[in-house]
Structure 1
Amino acid sequence: MRFETKIAVVIRDDLAGWQRLNVCAFLVSGVASAVPELIGEPYEDADGTKYLAMFRQPVVVFEAPASVLTAAHARALTRGLPMSIFTADLFTTGNDEDNRAAVRAVPRDSLDLVGIAVHGPRNAVDKIVKGARMHP
Structure 2
Amino acid sequence: MKVLFVCLGNICRSASAEGVFREISQAETDSAGTGGWHVGSPPYGPMLEAAARRGYDFSDLRARQFRVRDFEDFDLIIGMDANNMRDIEALRPEGNDTPVRLFTEYGDTDMIEVPDPYYTRDFDGALDLIEICADGLKRDIG
TM-score, with structure 2 as normaliser: 0.29
RCO comparison, higher one (Cα < 8 Å, 6+): 1
Q: Bigger radius of gyration, 1 or 2?
A: 1
Higher strand share: 1
